[in-house]
Structure 1
Amino acid sequence: MEYAAARDGMVDSLEHELRGVVEPDPVGTAMRAVPRHEFVDEADHRAYNDRSFEQYGTRVLAPSTAGALVQALAPEPGHDVLVVGAGVGYTSAVLAEIVGDEGVHAVDIARRVVWAARDNLRRAGYGGALVDRRDGARGFPEYAPFDRILVEAAAVDVPRALRDQLAPDGRLVMPLGAGEQRLAVVDGSGVVREGETVSFDPLLVEGEQGGVPVRNRTAREDREHARRHAERRRGWEHDWIEWD
């Protein structure tokens, strides 16, 4: 199987003026270089169809979705990038093509997914990318600040830790919303611009990943919201309360 031709056909469709998902440079060029078949079980031409796959209890984003995320992120060579919700590593590989694999830091809450991402990235030629098992909402403070942060999971608001780890002139991209989600771009000053409607799995916290007992997110969040509301303080007292 000649994968290069399949990759070119995939990216040609994403760059076409009727779709306009990605620009030729740098995102289109990066996607033409990444061997997507190394990241999906269907290691043949089906890997280059514009569809998602389920692996290890996580979703491998469709090429159009991954391309749109990276396009919105606007990474540049030399940037330090954090990927939250690394999955099996495909989006991290596309970013590594642009910023260099040493500039990619990825986290995922599921251990077996982290192992798969590490193996896939190494096999695809991006062994310098760092993938660690972390609660994504807490980011990766050891390597902060980041020029770009990409969150491949949805939340109602941007986690405070991720805001704190974004460089002053940085950019964060993630889906925001509970029911209806929109792809949001957040700059270093905290300004949020919401774009197209999207659909992503929720950002999991410790205890909700696959292989452990599943919590009732709604009930837990309701309890936390009620507790925080009851403990809310004003004035000088607010400064020393650590909500996390």
Structure 2
Amino acid sequence: MPDFADLRERMIRRQIELRGIADPRILEAFRAVPREAFVSASYAEAAYEDRPLPIEAGQTISQPYIVALMIEAAEIGRGDRVLEVGAGSGYAAAVMSRMADTVIGIERQHNLVQVARERLDRLDFSNVIIIEGDGTRGCPEEAPFDAILAAASGSHVPKPLVDQLAPGGRLVMPIGNPNWVQHLVKVTKAEDGRLQQSDLGEVRFVPLIGEEGWRDG
């Protein structure tokens, strides 16, 4: 049986800290979440490798560094309400829950919703709520959000997500064709509602499916 605690520490040091993400709150959040519990049993031994991994419903769990980069860009802090679009198996939501007050995760795949809820409940991540639905429409009944992260690439930033950002809120998501390299962007909503967008670099994500995203199939 692998020493997962040791592998987790190596991942944090080599894949995250050495790449320039040194915020101790982020590093501690990653230490608090067993990534091996959020992948299929057959991939548990690969949980801390520097790459995405397959999860249920034909989806993937993002590379650890990319998760950390998005969390850093979103500037998640104590007391924040966070929305994650494309919650997958619940791993990123669990990490963010160690830094925020509440995390709402939206997932369109029914099987993944059930899996994520079971894992988060079993591991006692009690401040994470997983909702089944179209993440491109956000979650207006739980808005406004201090931070919104999308783990899938759209052709544009969905207006409902921008509308659900609190003044001063930050949105981080990839933009671009799902069959090509995309760009990770950060949108900051000023107190007066004006938007400022910055480019955080090239990434590759699965397509964002939904009313404000790409068509399924």
Structure 1 length normalisation: TM-score? 0.79
> What is the alpha-carbon root mean square deviation over aligned residues?
1.9
How far the C-alpha of 1:160 sits from its partner, in A, is 0.7
Instruction: Report the residue type matching 2:206 in the other structure.
Output: D
Match of 1:80 in 2: 81
Which residue of the partner structure matches residue 9 of structure 1? 10
Q: Cα 1:215–1:4, aligned 2, differ >3 Å: closer, same or farther? A: closer
Distance in 2, matches of 1:27 and 1:64, equals: 11
Larger Rg: 1
Distance in 2 (CA, whole Å) between partners of 1:68 and 1:45 is 23
Runs of 5+ in structure 1 lacking a partner? 217-244
Moved more, 197-206 or 169-178: 197-206
Distance in 2 between the 1:215 and 1:51 partners? 25
Which structure: greater helix fraction?
A: 1
Q: Distance in 2 between matches of 1:215 and 1:127?
A: 32
Q: Give the % identical residues.
A: 35
The residue matched to 2:60 in structure 1 has which SS? strand
In structure 2, the residue matched to 1:172 is 171
Matching residue of 1:30: 29
* 1:196 paired residue number: 201
Give the partner amino acid of 2:65: S
Amino acid paired to 2:130:
V
Could you tell me whether the CA contact under 8 Å between 1:23 and 1:71 is conserved in 2?
Answer: no
The answer to whether the 8 A contact 2:16-2:64 is kept is no
| 2:109 is equivalent to residue 104 of structure 1 | no
3-state SS in 1 of match to 2:113: helix
1-structure distance, mates of 2:127, 2:200: 32
Comparing 59-68 with 163-172, which one deviates more in the overlay?
A: 59-68
Instruction: Show structure 2 runs of 5+ residues with no match.
Output: none
**Aligned length, in residue pairs:** 207
Alpha-carbon contact 2:77-2:99 (below 8 Å) kept: yes
CA distance, structure 2, for counterparts of residue 60 and residue 131 of structure 1: 16
Question: Any conservation in 1 of the 2:78–2:99 contact (CA below 8 Å)?
Answer: yes
Asked if the contact 1:118/1:127 (under 8 Å) is kept, the reply is no
Counterpart-to-counterpart distance in 1, 2:63 and 2:108 = 21
Shift of 1:111: 0.8
User: How far is the alpha carbon of 1:44 from its aligned partner?
Assistant: 4.2
Do 2:210 and 2:216's aligned partners in 1 also have CA atoms closer than 8 Å? no
In structure 2, give the amino acid aligned to 1:165.
Answer: Q
Separation (CA, whole Å) in 2 of partners of 1:92 and 1:74? 14
Shift in Å, 1:23: 1.9
1:99 aligns to what SS in structure 2? coil
| Distance in structure 1 (CA, Å) of the matches to 2:120 and 2:166 | 26
Deviation at 1:202, TM superposition (A): 1.1
- Offset at 1:2? 3.1
Separation in 2, partners of 1:51, 1:155: 21
Given residue 50 of structure 1, which amino acid in structure 2 is its aligned partner? D
Contact 1:81 1:147 in 2 (8 A): yes
Give the ranges of 4+ consecutive aligned residues of structure 1 lying more than 4 Å apart after TM superposition.
none
CA distance in structure 2 between the partners assigned to 1:72 and 1:128 by the alignment: 21
Match for residue 64 of structure 2? 63
Offset, 1:195: 1.9
Question: Hey, which of these two has a bigger chunk of strand by percent?
Answer: 2
Query: Partners in 1 of 2:95 and 2:125 — Cα distance?
Result: 10
Cα displacement (A) at 1:51: 1.9
Note the C-alpha offset of 1:11. 0.2
Report if the CA contact (8 A) 1:156-1:177 is conserved: yes
8 Å CA contact 1:73, 1:172 repeated in 2? yes
CA distance in 2, matches of 1:14, 1:23: 11
Q: Which position in structure 2 is the counterpart of 1:129? A: 128
